[in-house]
Structure 1
């Protein structure tokens, strides 16, 4: 009945001793291989990269870690940043990151629960809730993007990559942008729908915390583990793109104001439909004193692909900001030089794990992009 199975999951250290012999015996006895795919996980090494051994006294007791951080935190910490078949040193910092991820999910749920207490909604209303604003269309777009990535990664046994897609969707998209943008919203049913979708995506990686949150909202008679995986989500691409443009401007404003003396600043624009239509949202997300239209704007000019605006600053503040940009540009160029030297080393390319080389290339591309952007900013100031 259960032969052959679909996947054999095991360690690379017993590939010949166990897996190969299972295949040979299965073919000999039945004429069929005992499994279609073999997934080889890497060994978990100690913090110094050595194989764990009782005789060496370097074994990490998982029960102690679970007692301290929780089972979901351990699961997420082990799965994150772990390529298939690649041995990796155990890092308590990864488990702490897993715990923080679970806490973030819990805090999102508490926020939505607080909103729900003020305006109770039925399960039917939740399932039928539709997006009304640009940020609601945007979060559906991001959840759909994550769903597709997770589907493809799990099908390809890329569990670390699937966990990364979940992590960034919950932390960067849901918590950092949607929750912040929705603080003035009363579309509670849609918030609950978003949480419902997010919990389904998280469940394979953090089953206990996601199940607890689900039953808190839905009751003990409804279990998350028995729910269907999310189907394709429908949203307006145009509306979602509009919020991407808001994010682009708000990100730039946050970056600039973080390098200025603490204060509430005013944004000025001349002719920008995106800013005109989303003034309240931009003001709230960027924590501005105000936004106004002016035919003769002045201050620090901000030029982005989809918007142009000015942050009202004095000449002294602009000069100080320019000095900080030049210092940051010099530091980035130094870091780029170091990464290029590392990637030019044949020894590094041959000996370093593929994932590490990929990460180094990603860092280099990101720093080069930031260098170009800083150069453009300095050119505008000059």
Structure 2
């Protein structure tokens, strides 16, 4: 696979994705711009799932027969690939979950466990941001209800950035955890995680980062982020559904109590007591998502071959092009940063006089797949005083021609509802 100084060999990449060649509504070429919800899968990832089930299907860790040993090697090999992809100091810091929501719920749940040395209680504070996905809001509300802790947050500026003017008063010695999104799924904003993490650690707080929208698009080094935990999901980064990752600093994972009980996460079980395995298996109770983890490893291989710096550079060009093209459409208002600086290719917008659901329906009839609604980020949508947005989100296989198709589609929307 080749890259150029300007970006990627996108046409070669597109040939790896079978779904991109299909037609919808009879004769309409698919223009897939819903990557923030889920990405498409290259043939290499699809083949890895088929290969596992056709040749290696067995449960992991428990058997000494050939298939069990092969399945275990593939599953643990995927952990090695993920650890290297995110710059984890140890493979034992990589925990497989079913998605990033489960990964963040895991941390929120164990911080409310009576057996946790870090259990929150009345007077303690949890800090999030106004631009979080619901999966990084609801678990903290639940934790606060269980423990008597209080939830605080950073607000959003009109430009779609975090307002950190009150950094020292939001994060205080009462703060026990700061949980924040690296890249907003609504606004595309890249947040200054390092700055916030530095302040959090000054007061002894933990830091969890939701990297669901950054892991697919940006080089990710978990240690340089300054976080204690990082969560992301496989299906947004070319991998299958049903697989996510929680990275955590090993001493913390060793200290925290387990999330779920069952097979594989134990050390010794008697009728009187259970003791637990070391991370990562301590947090992987029961039969794991074996095929999904192997396929996530294949997705990581694919992204590594293409090169995350090359993907970032290409998408920056594509974001600039798409923002300029959309901004030139009469009646379009971009929700979030107006330029490509400090953001990724996830662009939410409104169209004067037309509800986003109507925009999405007309675009779909033209073969253009976008996402409409509040995108599980309702507090951020409310901040802008709107009921919903249309979101076009791009990835490494999208083109400027598809951005042009979106603009042409909006012209059709205006004709229908003009």
TM-score, L = length of structure 2:
0.24
Which has more radius of gyration? 1
TM-score, L = length of structure 1:
0.25
